[in-house]
Amino acid sequence: MLINLMKTSREPTNSNDYALANKLDTTVTYLVHSLCYLFKQIEYLDYDEEYFHLIKNANRPYILLVYELDALYSRNEPLAKLNQDPNTRAIWNHIDAIEGNTHLLLEFGKDFKYIVDMNNHSAQVERLVIIAGQEEAILTPELEKLIKEADIAGAMVALHAQKIRPKSKTSGHGAGFKAPVTEQVGYYGPCKQRKPVLSLHRQAQ
């Protein structure tokens, strides 16, 4: 049986905070990876109706997830400290919406340091989860629906990018980059884990 080490030093801390942060962060990570892959194909992509529809569908759950994560981190010091360190700052702490920031996500996807920082953030969140002793997040029905919406949006974005990607390509933005698509929608992330709705996580405590 795991001992909840967090409660020995921070009694008010809810262990569900860490499990919830982990779930929401990995969901956002999956969506960002899918978008970065799409934007790497931008030179081969016509800005057609389908493209703008995909961006619109991804933007809504992304904004709501970031809103929830901001609220969660703002009341939890160990989580907040991760975004104060440039080496563990989350991508969603850099960018609060997709629409209007697609150029930033393109640059993010091209910069290996940002990818490393994003993975570092997720790894540190998982560390807090393990220490807290609760690895499964308690979710409200609203959050479950939001996570599913984000996972579907990410899968559709990645599939579209794969569809328009040239079959043979040895140079260009997308060279050597594989789409982050898995057999099970929603199972993707740096730690193989597998999302406003006003502060939905508070209802889950």
For the stretch 88-130, pLDDT in tens is 989 899 899 999 888 888 777 676 566 676 789 999 999 999 9
Q: Which two tokens stand for residue 189?
A: 């992330």
For the stretch 52-67, pLDDT in tens is 899 999 999 999 999 9
Q: Domain containing 125: what range?
A: 14-167+185-200
Residue 87 lies in a domain: yes
Residue 9 lies in a domain: no
42 pLDDT band (50/70/90 cuts)? low
At 117, phi and psi to the nearest 5?
-60, -40
pLDDT for position 162: 83
For the stretch 12-23, pLDDT in tens is 458 899 999 999
Residue 4 lies in a domain: no
Residue 2 lies in a domain: no
Helix (H) or strand (E) holding 166: none
196 pLDDT band (50/70/90 cuts)? very low
Residue 178 to residues 40, 118, 135, 140, 151, Cα–Cα distance (Å): 11, 18, 29, 33, 18
The structure's pTM equals 0.72
Residue 31 lies in a domain: yes
The mean per-residue pLDDT over the stretch 27-33 comes to 91
Q: Which is higher by pLDDT, 43 or 202?
A: 43
Q: Give CA angle at 51 (48, 56), nearest 5°.
A: 125
- CA 131/CA 35 separation, integer angstroms: 32
- Overall number of domains in the chain: 1
- CA 189/CA 33 separation, integer angstroms: 9
Residue 25 lies in a domain: yes
For the stretch 137-192, pLDDT in tens is 999 999 999 999 999 999 999 888 887 766 544 444 444 444 444 333 333 333 33
Residue 42 lies in a domain: yes
Specify the residue for token string 């975004």: 83
Residue 95 lies in a domain: yes
Closest CA to 39 of 131, 97, 101: 101
78 pLDDT band (50/70/90 cuts)? very high
pLDDT for position 59: 96
